[in-house]
Structure formats: structure tokens, C-alpha cells
Amino acid sequence: MSIWVDFLVYALQVLLFWVFLPRQGHQFTLPMIADRDPEWLAAHRDVAARLDGSRWFLNTCRVWGAVSIAALLAVALDLTTGPLGGAAAKWEVLKDLNSVLLMIGSLVWCVFAVIWFRWLRTYVPLANTRRATLTPRVVSDYLSRPWRVAIETLTVLHLCAWVVIGVLGWAGGADYWSAFAFVTAMSVLFKVAAALAPRRRPGYPDRLFGDNYRRAEQRVWCLFRLTPVIAGCMMIGEHAFGFDPDRVGHLLLVSVVNLAMLTLLGLRPVAPSAPSFSVRSQLSA
């Protein structure tokens, strides 16, 4: 496999995390304040104008994205060998470098998020309005039958493969069955989390995107439920057939995350002409 396949998968993840996601999130800053208290927003147009015109967070994310792609490209072009020198394969250096850069950027992102939500709770009071529904929600309300059948079939076939391979004697031992217990537990955990997701209390994203948000959320959970399957197939290949699946398996896991990001980036407000979403026109009035 060409090293450029690895580079393109990681570069796509960098662009999604540090260019497209921040750009999408920025356009919902003012609607988030309006959803919390539209009267406060109308009374503080100067603050809203500064927030709407601020680009420092977007520029910080773009700079980090550019640094990340430049570092990955330097490894791909043999301009640097990474911290381990020539001891590690180039694909492994790319994998570890991308993980470290993503981890550092995510930690900084979390700090920014904490500062933002703390500012929001401190300065923007919560309006005395409550919007809720007592309608029961289940996964089938938001996810079509083909999606549900496909993910359940893959999960069952994957777990059955573990049992069949063990029974046939192609693999076994304490390590094998411990790995089987781990992927089984992860499969059950993700299934329970996906089943509980529709029951959560509606929040700002639900009001902004409507039922499309819960549909996208369920599709993301379907993608995440593939991670135990991918990891389990990697372990089967290693235990039963002596394969080294780390490279392909890691690229598949990163691709699953990328698909989840693309699913969320495809969301659009359900009512862009509603008062909550016409804040910019109010500021310019």
C-alpha cells in the first residue's frame, strides 16, 4: 500500500477537524445565544457583533491544521524521520504523529469550549421558557430498517466468527478468549448507548436542526458500532492467521471517524428564516 493513502486519510481528518468543523460551528454562535435568551441578544448588539466578527478561533484552528498537514507531508516526503529516527516504518510514524497532533489540538479545543460555555452561563441568563415533549422516542423513529439490519447483522456475524474460529481450533487460549470478551463487551456497550441516545433530553442542536439531528446522531452511532467489528477483525487476523493488521485497521478506524464527521457536517438548520437564525439581519438593522 502506498504511503500516500495513509497521508490522504490523515489529511482528510485534519481538514475535517480544523477547517470544516470550526467553520460550521462559528455560524451557530449567535443562534446559540438567541436560543438561550433572545432578549439578552437584542439588548447587547455590540457584544453580538464582536462575536460574529471574531475570527481568532477559526484562524487558530486553521493554523493548527496547516501545521499538522505540513508535519505529515514532511514525513511522507522523507524530510524528517520522526522522533524514532529510522526505527519505525513510515506508516507507523504517520499514524503516531497524526494521533499526537490530534490529541494536542483536541485538548486546546476543549479549553476553548470550557471558556466559551463558562462565558455563556455567566453573562447570558437562561430565559424563562421551557420547550419539551413527552413523546417517547426509540431508535426506529430516526433510523431506517436497512441501517438497523445492516449493523445488527455485521455485529452478530462478527461475534459468531470469533466462536467458530475458536471451536475449530484455528485460535484459542486465554489471550484469544479475553480479546473475544473485550469486543463483546464493547459491542454491547455501543448498542446500549445507541439505544439510549434517542431518550436523552432535547437540547440546542435539536432545536436548531430538528429531527435531522437525531437521525444524524443515530447514523454516527451506527458508524461507531463498527469500531468493535473492525478492532475484532484485526484481533482475529492476528490470533488466527498471524497477520499484522495494525496499518489497515487503524486507517479503517480513522475513516469511520471521518465519515461520522461528514455526517454531522451535512446538518442544516431546519428554519433558517426563524428569529433565532436571523440574528445577523437584526444586528445590521
- Convert the pLDDT of each residue in 72-86 to its tens digit: 999 999 887 765 556
Task: Please give the Cα distance from 17 to 60 (Å, whole number).
Answer: 12
List C-alpha distances in Å: 52 to 29, 37, 113. Answer: 7, 17, 16
Candidates 2, 8, 10, 52; CA nearest to 27 is 52
Task: Please give the Cα distance from 252 to 235 (Å, whole number).
Answer: 14
Candidates 158, 267, 251; CA nearest to 205 is 267
Q: Say yes or no to pLDDT of 164 above 80.
A: yes
- Convert the pLDDT of each residue in 3-30 to its tens digit: 999 999 999 999 999 999 999 888 888 8
Question: What does the block give as the cell for 186?
Answer: 464493547
Task: Please give the Cα distance from 220 to 188 (Å, whole number).
Answer: 16
Q: Taking residues 177-199, what's their average pLDDT?
A: 92
Amino acid present at 51: L
Which residues fall within 8 angstroms of residue 228, CB to CB, at 6 or more apart?
A: 155, 158, 183, 186, 187, 190
Amino acid present at 54: S
CB atoms within 10 A of CB 51: 18
- Convert the pLDDT of each residue in 233-256 to its tens digit: 988 988 888 887 888 888 999 999
- Convert the pLDDT of each residue in 35-78 to its tens digit: 888 888 888 889 888 988 889 999 999 999 999 999 999 999 98
Phi then psi for residue 133, to 5 deg, are: -140, 145
Q: Say yes or no to pLDDT of 184 above 90.
A: yes
Q: Say yes or no to pLDDT of 268 above 90.
A: no
Which residues fall within 8 angstroms of residue 225, CB to CB, at 6 or more apart?
A: 151, 155, 187, 190, 191, 194
**pTM (2 d.p.):** 0.83
145-167 and 226-241 helices cross at what angle (nearest 10)?
20
CB atoms within 10 A of CB 148: 15
Q: Say yes or no to pLDDT of 210 above 80.
A: yes
List C-alpha distances in Å: 115 to 55, 63, 155, 265. Answer: 16, 20, 40, 23
Element counts in the chain: helices (H) and strands (E): 14, 0
Q: Say yes or no to pLDDT of 228 above 80.
A: yes
Q: Which of helix, strand or coil describes residue 127?
A: coil
pLDDT of residue 280: 53
- By CB atoms closer than 10 A (0-12, 13-18, 19+), residue 174 is exposed
pLDDT of residue 131: 56
Max CA-CA distance within the chain? 75
Which of left, alpha, beta for 208 (phi over 0: left; psi -120 to 50: alpha)?
Answer: alpha
Candidates 13, 35, 23; CA nearest to 208 is 35
Question: What does the block give as the cell for 227?
Answer: 469500531
